[in-house]
Amino acid sequence: MSNLPFIRFLDRRTPPHIVTLVLITGISALSMSIFLPSLAKMTRYFGTDYAIMQIALSGYLAATAALQIFVGPLSDRFGRRIMILGALAVFVAASIGAMLAQSIQTFLFFRILQAAVATNMALSRAIVRDIVSQEEAASLMGYVTMGTALVPMFGPMVGGVLDEAFGWHATFAFLAIAGAATLLLVYMDLGETVAKGGVSFRDQIKGYPELLRSPRFWGYALCAAFSSGAFFALLGGASFVGSTIFGLSPKWSGVALGAPAVGYAVGNFLSGRYSVRMGINKMAIIGTGVTITGLALSAVLTLLGVVHPLNFFGFCVFLGLGNGIALPNVMAGSVSVRPHLAGTASGLSGAIMIGGGAALSQFAGGILTVESGTLPLQLLMLGTSVLALVSVLLVVWRERRIT
């Protein structure tokens, strides 16, 4: 990346350093997953049902989905820097509020307010487009998205260790400190990158009907929603499975939750290496096929009486691997259906993907009981993965009809 503009760390007059971009992306992913090993313990602390406690994840995801639509146009008008600084300030305050909450209602209010930090994830992509040419954006974005890919691998482990050592409150204290440190870094290193103008919210809304009439857009968007939905369903039920069904400690529940992230990192590498050669549709079919194969084997073993954490969480590596292969390709496909509406398609498909994940995570938390075991969650993940494959096959069928 020799053509990158000159960058001086902690100097707002030059473009932001790659470390800053990685951290502002990573803290969004960290907030999503770090508290999950403590979910069962928090349910008992607040004296509520697990399904109610699940709103801490599903409500967070729903708020994130809504932000995907609005953040881009608002940052075009008001600037990237002020939006990210404001989001981090809200996140720090919300983390402190969640830590000090004495009732489930107060906790859920501050937890959902934490979703403001999802602004970072959306705007980091926009900042990359601001500071480098289109040809180099994909290369730089690969480094930036490492925060999203790697943090879920370690976040639950950190949360589990903090819970065992100090209690679940320490997890939100850690988030507040991490948010404050990131806020200071952004203040020092991130200047304004947006150029004058940009696409207004009104102009983006005008592009929605054209996208919504496109079967190929729906195929790609639904494939992304169902593929990621299987992962969000896992997040919704994993804490109950780990702590209540298998009796794992918060630390080991956190380690188990890192399994899909290992597969996801490998899948991203394979996607980057082979997508150009094989094409996005073939890669999406391979990715969803890998996920279906792994989850089907896990479900069959459970039906045969193999009820063990390694069977449930171990095969979730295939879920991460398949998503790592499929998601980059179907997301690229969704923004390529109408190239002149790429920004609108990105926001809309992102909202569909995360909004669907919010619904599935909440549903997953409601269907699990000690008596049912892990099988309902396994079948839910398998079913959504099959729907992801069907969605991309419809795209292939549609393209063959057109040609």
Between 11 and 210, the more confident residue is: 210
CA 227 distance to own-chain centroid: 12
CA distance 305 to 175: 40
pLDDT score, position 356: 83
Flag the least confident range among 131-145, 162-176, 238-252, 298-312: 131-145
Between 140 and 268, the more confident residue is: 268
| pLDDT tens figures, 50-65 | 888 888 888 888 888 8
Residue 196 CB-half CA count within 13 A: 0
Q: Judge residue 268's burial from the number of C-beta atoms within 10 Å of its C-beta, 0-12 exposed, 13-18 middle, 19 or more buried.
A: buried
Spatial CA neighbour of 30 closest among 91, 85, 98: 91
pLDDT score, position 402: 65
Do 1-198 and 207-403 agree at the fold level? yes
Residue 67 CB-half CA count within 13 A: 24
Structure tokens at 187: 């203040």
Question: For residue 206, what are the contacts with CB-CB under 8 A and spacing of at least 6?
Answer: none
Average pLDDT over every residue of 341-347 = 65
Q: Is the confidence at residue 138, as pLDDT, over 60? A: no
Average pLDDT in the chain:
82
Answer whether CATH 3.40.190.10 is correct for domain 207-403: no
Average pLDDT over every residue of 140-157 = 65
Residue 359 one-letter amino acid: A
* pTM assigned to the model: 0.74
Backbone angles phi, psi at 272, to 5 degrees: -65, -30
pLDDT score, position 135: 45
Average pLDDT over every residue of 172-197 = 87
Q: Is the confidence at residue 270, as pLDDT, over 80? A: yes
Spatial CA neighbour of 80 closest among 22, 125, 128, 127: 127
Domain at 1-198, CATH from 1.20.1250.20, 1.10.3720.10, 3.30.1280.10, 2.10.109.10 = 1.20.1250.20
Query: What is residue 194's DSSP assignment?
Result: P
Structure tokens at 356: 């669907």
Structure tokens at 284: 């999406």
pLDDT score, position 294: 95
Q: Report yes or no: 46 and 53 within 8 Å, Cβ to Cβ.
A: yes
Question: For residue 306, what are the contacts with CB-CB under 8 A and spacing of at least 6?
Answer: none
| pLDDT tens figures, 291-333 | 999 999 999 999 999 989 889 998 999 998 998 888 888 877 7
CA distance 207 to 135: 25
CA dihedral angle for residue 359, residue 324, residue 294, residue 36, rounded to 10 degrees: -50
- For the chain, what are the domain ranges? 1-198, 207-403
| pLDDT tens figures, 73-102 | 777 777 788 889 999 999 999 999 999 999
